[in-house]
Amino acid sequence: MRRLFPVTDQTPAPPRDAADLADREWSLDELAEAYAYPALTADGHWLRANMVSTLDGGAQHDGRSQPISGETDMRIFGTLRALADVVVVGAETVRQEGYRPARAREAFAARRAACGQGPAPAIAVVTASLDLDFSLPLFTSPLVPTLVVTGAAAPADRVAEATRAGAEVVVAGEGAGVDAGRVVRELAARGLRRQLTEGGPRLLGQFVAADALDELCLTISPMLVAGGAQRIAGGPSVTVPHRLAPACVLEEAGFLFTSYRRI
């Protein structure tokens, strides 16, 4: 993998950051440095999304993102998880991708401890229906309790079942559904301030519309899928396009690993 942006000094040769520019496998430590969260104020929070898109804008193939991903994309996916306090994900992605609890990873243990983080991020599933299989390990045996984020009018029997399974139910909306901006605030109020959303597109679109997204880590996969695949963010359009600034672009085997931040 090599860094394409930022390139701080390309002259005179050899450049100061020749190690970055050379095409070689990056260690997990180097990836963690490249994707470190910004410093947060005492009550601050940061929501980043990690998504993969094909060249023609597809966010999935055959209903899953795995066919358009790759080995390095999965390493970065794992790194981003390992840096986060919480992974926020829509229920449909949980159902389609068979989500499991996040695991503790030795390679990131010291970094997490230094940041006051537990061994693994919590998974927070956003759902109105709570139509989830609460007998799955995601709910019954995570390292840290899985959160179910829903509205105040969510079905009481499903809420009771989620709680029985060991999940913590977080209310972030007055109706059956949640308000995306409130999701961020409710999680931050629980000390989960370094936030990562893994989509899917319907949930990400709501974070965008609520102007709650601080950073997009977008993998551009060198593939075409055509067909009716979703884009990475869906739902109603924003009134004025939100402009972000590039923070980092890495390349490996034709995949571009980009990160854009709120200006």
Which of 139, 109, 119, 118 lies closest to 191 in space, CA to CA?
118
Is 117 or 221 the residue whose CB approaches ligand NAP more closely? 221
HSE-up (13 A, CA, CB side) for residue 59: 17
Is residue 70 involved in binding ligand NAP (CB under 6 A)? no
Q: Which of 17, 30, 92, 251 binds ligand NAP (CB under 6 A)?
A: 92
Alpha-helical runs (H) found in the chain: 18-21, 28-34, 71-83, 91-97, 106-114, 137-140, 156-165, 180-189, 201-209
Q: How many CB atoms lie within 10 A of CB 78?
A: 17
Is residue 93 involved in binding ligand NAP (CB under 6 A)? yes
Smallest distance, ligand NAP to C-beta of residue 47, A: 15
Is 68 or 83 the residue whose CB approaches ligand NAP more closely? 68
Round to whole Å and give the CA distance between 191 and 193. Answer: 6
Beta bridge mates, 252? 255
Question: Which DSSP category does 66 fall into?
Answer: G
Q: Which of 31, 34, 47, 59 binds ligand NAP (CB under 6 A)?
A: 59
What is the distance between the terminal CA atoms of the chain, rounded to a whole angstrom? 27
Give residues with Cβ within 8 angstroms of 225, minimum separation 6: 54, 56, 58, 61, 68
Is residue 131 involved in binding ligand NAP (CB under 6 A)? yes
Is 112 or 232 the residue whose CB approaches ligand NAP more closely? 232
Site for ligand NAP in 211-230 (CB under 6 A): 230
Is 145 or 177 the residue whose CB approaches ligand NAP more closely? 177
Q: Which of 5, 40, 56, 64 binds ligand NAP (CB under 6 A)?
A: 64
Reduce the DSSP state of residue 47 to 3 states and report it. strand
Is residue 126 involved in binding ligand NAP (CB under 6 A)? yes
Q: Which of 10, 24, 36, 129 binds ligand NAP (CB under 6 A)?
A: 129
Round to whole Å and give the CA distance between 47 and 214. Answer: 5
The region of 20-28, 29-37, 124-132, 161-169 touching ligand NAP under the rule CB under 6 A is: 124-132
Is residue 29 involved in binding ligand NAP (CB under 6 A)? no
Q: Pairing state of beta strands 2-5 and 255-262?
A: unpaired
Which of 44, 196, 192 lies closest to 118 in space, CA to CA?
192
Smallest distance, ligand NAP to C-beta of residue 259, A: 14
Is 115 or 224 the residue whose CB approaches ligand NAP more closely? 224
For 236-256, give the DSSP string: SPPSSPPPEEEEEEEEETTEE
Q: Which of 203, 212, 216, 223 binds ligand NAP (CB under 6 A)?
A: 203
Q: Which residues bind ligand NAP (CB under 6 A)?
A: 51-52, 59-60, 63-65, 90-93, 96-97, 126-129, 131, 177-178, 198-203, 206, 230, 232, 234
